[in-house]
Structure 1
Amino acid sequence: MDSSKEDPNKLSSSLQDPTPTQPLLSKPYPPPLDHPASPVPATLRPTTSQPSDDHSQLLQISYNYGPRPFKDWPFLLLFSLLILATFAFGIFASVHRNPHHSQVSSFFYNSTSSTCAILEVTQPSFFSSPISINALKSSVLKSLIWTLVITLILSVPFVLFVLLLLKHYTKQLVYISLPFFVIVPVFLDIYWFVACHVSSRCSEALPLAYRILIFVFILLIIGVVIWIFVVNWHRIELTINIIGVAANGLWQNLGLFGVLPGLTLGLFLYYAPIVVFLVFARFNGKIVPKEKNGEYYCVWKQDGWVPAYYALAILTMLWSATAMIEAQVYVISGTIAQWYFSKDYDRPKKSLRSALRNAFGPSSGTVCLSGLLVGVVRFVRAMVDNARNEDASGIVNLILRCCVNALMAAFDFLNKFTINFAAITGEAYCTSARMTYELLKRNLLSAAFVETVSTRVLAGIIFVLSVLYAIVVCLIVRAVGHLGVEAYFVAAMAWLLLLVVLGFFVNVLDNVIDTVYVCYAIDRDKDDVCKQEVHEVYVHLPISRSQRSAFSARTPMVV
């Protein structure tokens, strides 16, 4: 009898965690060599069935392939109500607009009825001034349109070609591009200075002193760029490998290049009716008499609710833009994470569709909350910058600005990896923020950072490539279109368009780098290796901001 009473206690004590008070993601790294491995694969184990202080959850962080519950749904509800209110009041404004808004000059004051009456009916005109047919048929406009269309068409294979080069020839492309980071800006600076000195129109508009000042200022900016690369030269080799790994992961998921622009196009289509509503909202009001110096005349008086609707619609558009940006990051992270945690012989199927379903389904509230927080942070930062531009003096203002900037920087870093972690695990925003911070802190000994040099290198590469393309366009337009100075304008527009497209590509690649970084931290947390080639590169990242280890200082774990 005594032994039978003791058996349940022994059984219950054996099932309990040996360290039940230890918080999530708080075990030291690396784990002991005799740490028992779970017979169940990490990707098949549930992630939400145990309390957050359970030590066994340390090995459960991985991509959540199963059904995900809805998280942060109150923010999705708030966002939906905001959209419904915007469209409802917009439809009301369109239906109840005053057709006499553009006919104020046709109204006169009727002293008998003390109201404004229409004198004559005039047909509204959509154009205040006729369009010059000659302007539409000018060679400059035709050259500009054809150049932009051809640039937009060529940008797709151009981006794929750059991605292919980064995947196979990252080192060669980076080292070839590095000298052009200096040569191209210096050449353009000297060319502009000489051309402006030769041109009588430019030399008259800009005196010699101003030209020299601009010339020296651009050289100083180039010097700062050179200094940045000299200081970070010891990390160039690491940067090359990080870019190569990210390019390989993006090459395995080329469907992102079709979905992400589609989401951006969908955002603009969603904006179209709101813009129409804003235009029609201006037509809501009435023509009323107004007295000035003893004389009455008719003026347009807008309804009092119109400014409030403008504020509502603009707030909805801003929140929608930030939410769409976060949704794109979520889709990138979810797709790349599935590629990372899959085996080479078992590539994930429908990973992009799964990431889209999660982003606009169970995690839509998390995306909305992240977009709201990003919008608030941007608004606060704009207010701080505006206060700085107004030369607000005082030690209190200085302290407040420093505190706000520190908080904004901390939030940007935390939010940067929070949405990546939410896309991987499907957790709520606050839970993802806490778990991400603890994960990176425990595995990387600090609030670790992804290699920021890679962003600067990629930005330099796309700048060089777009400038070279613009030079070729300028030569072709001058030869074929027989244009003079106008060819520079056409080439500048082509450069800007290609730079925007390549900038979008770099933004996607940056998000891939961040996602792979979080996945690598999860691997370290589980003492696992899902992608050996990633560990061989990311293991060389400095574990703290103060440590600058050489590229060959550490060796990756091989399993």
Structure 2
Amino acid sequence: MGTTEESQPSILTAPLLPSASASASDTGAGAFSDDDDHFPPISFNHGHRPVRDLPALLLFLLLSLSTLALGVVALIRRNPAFSHSDSFVFDPISSSCLPSQHLSNSPLFGTPLFKDLTITLVLTLLLSLPLALILLWLLKHFAKQVIYACIPFFIIVPTFLNVYWFVSCTLSPACRSSFPLAYRLLVLVFVFLLILIVLWIIVANWNRVELTVHIVRVAADALFHNLALFFVLPGLTVALLVYIGVVSVFLVFSRFNGRIEPRAGAGGKYLCEWRQEGWVPAYFALAIVTMVWTAAAMVEAKVFVISGTVAQWYFCKEGVKPRRSIRTSLRNAFGPSFGTVCFSGMIMGAVRAVRAIVDSAKREGIAPGIVNLVTQCCAKFLLSACDFVNKFTIIFTAITGEGYCSSAKMTYELLKRNLLSAVFVETVSTRVLVGIIFVLSSLYAIAVCAVLKAVSALNGEIYLVAAIAWLLLIVLLGFFVHVLDNVIDTVYVCYAIDRDKGEVCKQDVHEVYVQLPLSRNHRPSFNPRNTFSV
């Protein structure tokens, strides 16, 4: 011990973690074995970053440009006759199909339901950002009070809704006649069983709630220092929606490429039918693959921007705010690391496609019995492994600028050297946050229902409007949870880098994350290099 301390330069005389220095040393904080001396120190790369994963970038650009170019061709070569092809009849004199008189009426959207639904959804969209900011402020300053106050509502709100719908349906003659008592009781008991399962999960994880409070508070503090992410990330979402909208328009007009031709029918009569050109189905396949890849790549780009921004904040000195951190992350994401983002999006798009195929096979029962069970278990294991690897790989790429494969390898080695595991990142915090937004959205839906009952002329449609508003707010606040969850993962990787270098950039983060469980394959052993001073 004495020899180790003398051989290393001492900058601080106090331990790294005053409240947890012993545990940090025992668990291998900054521990390097003799075989690990060749690993270079890891930190945020502010300098020049070379272009990575160029083949994935070129392939993505090729598919995207081909989709847009063929879409423009489809728009120019469209046949307007497609929109009224049903009105064409066969003319025996000219032996061709000619249009006949055809009138159509467009539906009007002036009903009270459409009006109230539109107003409700617009207000929900406008209120979502203030609600997210208020929730973030509460989690930063009063995380313990908010979490402990919301946990009982995880049971109270679904219980109230379950009893309310049962009583309302019982009192309504129309619902009572269409939904017999036996079925109502069956649904009532089933929902109560689900509530009991949620209650059991809460009780089983109660000892981890206190750690969850600290993790959420640290993540909220990190996100609070980078509030501009709330304006940049929705901008990326809007850009994605515009791109998908343009491609969708091209897909619609690609169906207009063809002609109306006569076809011999029964009894020697000729009918007129629309025949698409042969390249249209291939364009549909190309456009769908491109849209899926683009959507997955944009999700990874958002994670990249969040990770790069939070990492710059983390590695800054206390009291110093990083300059242009979001701009730097955006430049890296859509610049030298865009190939890595595309490669990551390709992997995640493939994972989601395989998962959809597995779920579809499960519903249809294509391979019943033990074969189906084994296939599903293997597929879920591999897909979950890909999710874990990809999540931390893109974070590491945002920090260092490495390529995808080297980032995956270096992330694994980083966590392994420091006895950490990607599997053990606290998941209770995400579930608690999901529960909080469920409670808030449910309370909002109840308020919407009460207001509509007071001011609207709708009857049973009020519940439909409230349900749609509830779903929209769940999705919007779910975006907030997604951002906060990525912040938690990013801080975890930054904490691992700190341990690897034997440094403490954020003392409050170390005091929280040092309490996370270690890797399952960790075998405590005495190593004199595990205790050190910096």
Both structures adopt the same fold (TM-score exceeding 0.5): yes
Match of 2:526 in 1: none
Is contact 1:448–1:543 with CA below 8 Å preserved after alignment?
Answer: no
Match of 2:228 in 1: 255
Partner residue of 1:71 out of 44, 47, 52: 52
Q: Unmatched 5+ residue regions in structure 2? A: 12-33, 523-530
Partner residue of 1:62 out of 43, 51, 61: 43
Alignment of 1:158-197 (within 5 A): 158-197=131-170
Alignment of 1:194-209 (within 5 A): 194-209=167-182
**CA displacement, residues 305-346 of structure 1 (integer Å, 9 cap, x when unaligned):** 111100001111110000000000000000000000001132
- Rate the CA distance shift 1:145–1:222 in 2: closer, same or farther, 3 A: same
Q: Quote how far apart the aligned CAs of 1:97 are.
A: 1.3
**CA displacement, residues 496-555 of structure 1 (integer Å, 9 cap, x when unaligned):** 2221111110000000000000000111111110000000000000113599xxxxxxxx
Match of 1:354 in 2: 328
Amino acid at match of 1:116: S
Amino acid at match of 1:129: N
* In 1: Cα distance, 2:391 partner to 2:46 partner: 22
Is contact 2:5–2:533 with CA below 8 Å preserved after alignment?
Answer: no
- Rate the CA distance shift 1:557–1:232 in 2: closer, same or farther, 3 A: farther
Alignment of 1:144-543 (within 5 A): 144-293=117-266, 294-391=268-365, 392-543=367-518
Q: Quote how far apart the aligned CAs of 1:116 are.
A: 1.5
| Number of residue pairs matched by the alignment | 500
Amino acid at match of 1:176: A
Q: Quote how far apart the aligned CAs of 1:151 are.
A: 2.1
Is contact 1:90–1:281 with CA below 8 Å preserved after alignment?
Answer: yes
* In 1: Cα distance, 2:289 partner to 2:445 partner: 37
Amino acid at match of 1:383: I
* In 2: Cα distance, 1:91 partner to 1:305 partner: 14
* In 1: Cα distance, 2:149 partner to 2:127 partner: 23
- Rate the CA distance shift 1:105–1:510 in 2: closer, same or farther, 3 A: closer
Q: Quote how far apart the aligned CAs of 1:145 are.
A: 2.3
Match of 1:82 in 2: 63
Partner residue of 2:8 out of 12, 28, 36: 36
Q: Quote how far apart the aligned CAs of 1:104 are.
A: 3.2
- Rate the CA distance shift 1:33–1:446 in 2: closer, same or farther, 3 A: farther
Amino acid at match of 1:312: L
Moved more, 315-324 or 94-103: 94-103
Q: Quote how far apart the aligned CAs of 1:119 are.
A: 4.9
Is contact 2:4–2:532 with CA below 8 Å preserved after alignment?
Answer: no
3-state SS of the aligned residue for 1:191?
helix
> When the two structures are superposed, what TM-score results if normalisation uses the length of structure 1?
0.85
Q: Quote how far apart the aligned CAs of 1:470 are.
A: 1.7
* In 2: Cα distance, 1:146 partner to 1:178 partner: 32
Match of 1:17 in 2: none
Moved more, 495-504 or 397-406: 397-406
Q: Quote how far apart the aligned CAs of 1:288 are.
A: 1.5
* In 1: Cα distance, 2:178 partner to 2:469 partner: 26
- Rate the CA distance shift 1:316–1:34 in 2: closer, same or farther, 3 A: farther
- Rate the CA distance shift 1:447–1:167 in 2: closer, same or farther, 3 A: closer
Is contact 1:466–1:495 with CA below 8 Å preserved after alignment?
Answer: yes
Partner residue of 2:107 out of 131, 136, 147: 131
Is contact 2:261–2:273 with CA below 8 Å preserved after alignment?
Answer: yes
* In 2: Cα distance, 1:444 partner to 1:82 partner: 42
- Rate the CA distance shift 1:69–1:38 in 2: closer, same or farther, 3 A: farther
> When the two structures are superposed, what TM-score results if normalisation uses the length of structure 2?
0.89
RMSD, aligned CA: 2.4
Amino acid at match of 1:131: P
